[in-house]
Amino acid sequence: MKGRSDKVYVLEDDGFKEVYDRYVITFFVKDGKFLALSDSLICKPTLDSKGIEIRLPNKEYTDLAVDWDDGVVFVSTFGDGYITIDELIKGECTLKSFNDGFLMTLKIRNLVY
């Protein structure tokens, strides 16, 4: 990801607004909250806030899904895990494993399901 100059923008009534100034793999915006995955998890409680970046364990991360209703962020890699939005806002970074009696396999094809 080094050397990339990508940025993330959202469309507002008066035009485009930059909300993040680096490359991300995927991102979600809802009710003014911004969540993204790059080499870290990025959480902005509001689009205008500085944002919180949580370093993840050194693995290859491929996807992010958000359950906004339950406040859960799912992160995909070989050894998928999840963290709550509240934990991200507090700056916590411990991913809980899906496989603590939750799933029969770690070979997850679609985080939304």
pLDDT at 2: 54
Which of 98, 46, 88, 38 has the alpha carbon at shortest distance from 64?
A: 38
- The larger pLDDT score, comparing residue 108 to residue 27, is at 27
Domains present along the chain, CATH in parentheses:
8-97 (2.40.10)
DSSP 35-104: EEESSEEEEESSTTS--EEEEPPSS---EEEEETTTTEEEEESTT-EEEEHHHHHTT---PEETTTTT-S
pLDDT in tens, 85-107: 888 888 776 777 665 555 445 45
- The larger pLDDT score, comparing residue 9 to residue 89, is at 9
Q: If you average pLDDT over residues 24-29, what whole number do you get?
A: 91
pLDDT in tens, 38-73: 888 999 999 999 888 988 878 777 888 888 888 888
pLDDT at 99: 56
pLDDT at 42: 92
pTM, two decimal places: 0.69
pLDDT at 1: 44
Please state, for a pLDDT cut of 70, what percent of the chain lies above it: 75
The Cα–Cα gap between 22 and 34 comes to: 14
